[in-house]
Structure formats: C-alpha cells, structure tokens
Amino acid sequence: MSIQSELANILTASADPRMATPGKNKALFIFLAIVVIGLGFGVSAFVVGHHNAYNNTREMPWGILIATYAFWAITSTGLCIYAAMSHVLGGTRMGIVSNRMVWMSIMTIMGAFATIGVEIASPHRMLLYNVLSPNPTSNIWWMGTLYGLAVGCMLVEFFGIITGLARLAIIIGVFGALAEVGANSCLGGVFATLAGRPYWYGGQLPIYFLTSAFLSGAAAAVFFNHMAYKLRGEEMSEAVRRAVKSAGKAMTLVLILYMVATFWRLLSYYVGGTDLGRTAAGALIHGPLAVNFWVVEVGVGMLIPLILIILARGENIPTMSFAGVLILIGQFVARYDLVVAGQLVPHNIGWDNVPTYFSYIPSFSEFAVVAGSIGVVGMGFLLGERFFGKVFDQKEHH
C-alpha cells in the first residue's frame, strides 16, 4: 500500500463529517480570508518597508506584533505542558482531551510564527543563520531553536497519536514539552537580561511567563473543548466534562497565583529599584497604559473571570468557557502592556524637552497582522475538528 493511500485511510478514519456542514465550511473560509488579508498586510511590509507599514520607531522598536507573538507562544507552551502531563501521568482526568490540546498547541505556535515571520525584516536570514551561525550565548537563538524543536516534536507526537503509536507520542511529547518550557523561559530571558530596560530586567520574568503559560493554556483548553462540542451540537460525555472541569480548576488556581504575582511585581518597583523602572510601572498604574491595565488586564482578565468561576462553582462549563475567553483577552493585553511599558520611558528622562513617556499606537497593518494570527488559530481549530475530530473524541486515555 502506498504512503498516499495509507494517509488517506488515516484521514478517513479520523475525520468527523459533522464538521463538514455548509455553515462550518463558511466559517472556515471566513478565517481563511482573515488569514490572507491580515497576513497580506504583513507581507506588504516587505515591499513598502517595515518602517512605513508598522509604527515602530528607533526608540520603541518592539510593538504589538512582538506582544502577539509572545501571547501565542506562551499559550502554546501551556497547552503542550498540560497535554504532556496528561499523557505521562496516564489516567488523569484531562487525559481524554489531551489530543486536542496537542493539536491546538501546534496551531497556537503557528499563529506565533506567522506573526513573527512578518514582523522581522529578514525572516529568511533568521532561518539560515540560526543553523549556519549559531550563538549559544543568545537568548533569542535558544528561543528560536527550542521553539523549532518543540514544533517538530509536537508534529511527530501528533503523528503518533493519529497512527496509534501511543508510546512514540508519549516519549516525543515529553521532549516537546521540555523544549517548550525551555523556549518559554528563554522568551522571558530575552526581556529579563536587558539591563538597560529596568522594567523588564530581573529574574522574575521567565517564571512570570511560565505562570502565564499555565494560565493561558488552561483557559484555552476549557474554551476550545467547549467550542468543539458546541459546534457539533453534542453534549459532552461525563468523562469529557470531568476533564474540562479539571482544566477549569487548574485555570482557577493559576489565575489566583497570577494575580498575586502581578501585584508583587508592580509593588516591587515602588519599594526599590530604579526611577526608570518605577516610571515604567507608573505607565500602567496611572499613565498612558492605565486603561489597558485596570480595565482589561485586571477587570476583564482577572476579576470578572474569578467572579464567574465562583458563580459557576466549577460546574457550569459555558460560564467557565466564557471566563477562559476573558482570561485570554486579559493575557493578550498583559503581553502588550509588558512589551510597551518596558520601552515607553526615555533613558534620558529628566533632560530638557524629553517627554516622560514616548507615544506608540499600532498601525492598521499591525492590527491586520494580529487579526491574521487569530485567523491562523481559528482556521487551525476548525481544520483539526474536521479532519481529526474522531481522534480528539477519545473514549479512553492513550
């Protein structure tokens, strides 16, 4: 039997025809259009010049696209960790939804790659010289290398899942999760080792990013599993309900830890540190990012989800799913605020005619690329449910 025939048989056996209705196909094409149009604006930046398409400046070289990349990459890490834990610790409640988490971990990192691919001016050089001229002393090199390794491992892991090679999936999945944790840590290290940016500098950001990964991953797990059954118009089995409730409990616990970490992180700038770090923190407390911080980060992303979870008592999955969406929105804005706040304060603040804060508003092209990355993840979710729905709908843990 040829490889093509074997793959066709696998796809036939794993496909879910319930996700091939005209309405769902229409949604798929809408996401595809968003990808083409959104990322099309990013591709056009190579023609008109990134400095013309994006509102980044010499003073603020990183903007919303770096924040978007960080958001998707961190979410991917969380999903990958939960899936690996479920596979390794056989019999855990979340094991029954772990296959969907593996797939969505791949799709979210693809959203991250799509964003960073059109953000940097020469992505081909990154791919080429990452191999030809490695720099083990660079956090960015390690981040790119480990995320690439993680994607490769997750693809092999998913291949093992759909072909029934459970042992291969578990072993490679563990390596993938370790690579994701290492890459996530290096992503935090990219910011944390910049001594010239006091708001970022320090050992807390890698751990802070890992906490964010557990929070975003749990929120995404609850949301995507709820949406999968909502789209099918099907009730969850009791085993799946227990799995989603377990993800919801993890989301609740990490949300509380994340709230505490956020409080102490900001407080630390007011009891020590440099004036530049304190001024940057002030941008969130009472400065140009205050609405983002208090309304979206704290209100939408922390307090309202916590209230919803308490009201749901961990039982009402639609309410928990909505809380998960709000958490993901809050996490996206938190990544944006972190990236921007670290650059808003001029190094030479206090000199004549130097503003307290620089100004940055994302351009239309930048917003379009962000939408394109959402389209990548949304399209990936629908494609996964269409072609691997039966693999996701496990009757027992692999």
Write down the domain spans for the chain: 22-385
| pLDDT by 10s per residue, the chain, length 398 | 566 676 677 667 788 888 889 999 999 999 999 999 999 999 999 999 999 999 999 999 999 999 999 999 999 999 999 999 887 776 567 888 999 999 999 999 999 999 999 999 888 888 888 888 999 999 999 999 999 999 999 999 999 998 888 888 889 999 999 999 999 999 999 999 998 899 999 888 999 999 999 999 999 999 999 999 999 988 898 989 999 999 999 999 999 999 999 999 999 999 987 889 999 999 999 999 999 999 999 999 999 999 999 999 888 999 999 999 999 999 999 999 999 999 999 988 767 778 889 999 999 999 999 999 999 999 999 999 999 988 887 654 44
Contacts of 51 (CB under 8 A, 6+ apart): none
User: What tokens does 297 get?
Assistant: 């980060």
**Residue labelled with tokens 């083409």:** 36
CA–CA dist 213, 71 (Å, integer): 9
CA–CA dist 56, 360 (Å, integer): 8
Cα angle 108, 204, 192 (rounded to 5 degrees) comes to: 75
Q: Give the residue from 382, 384, 373 showing the smallest Cα distance to 25.
A: 382
Pick the CATH number of 22-385 from 3.40.50.2000, 3.30.2140.20, 1.20.1630.10, 3.60.110.10: 1.20.1630.10
CA–CA dist 340, 165 (Å, integer): 45
Q: How many CA atoms lie within 13 A of 67 on its CB side?
A: 25
CA–CA dist 302, 295 (Å, integer): 10
Distance of CA 133 to the CA centre of its chain: 28
Name the region of 54 (left: φ>0; alpha: ψ -120 to 50; beta: rest): beta
User: What tokens does 313 get?
Assistant: 């008592």
Identity of the residue numbered 242: R
DSSP 199: T
How many other C-beta atoms can be found within 10 angstroms of the C-beta atom of residue 100? 26
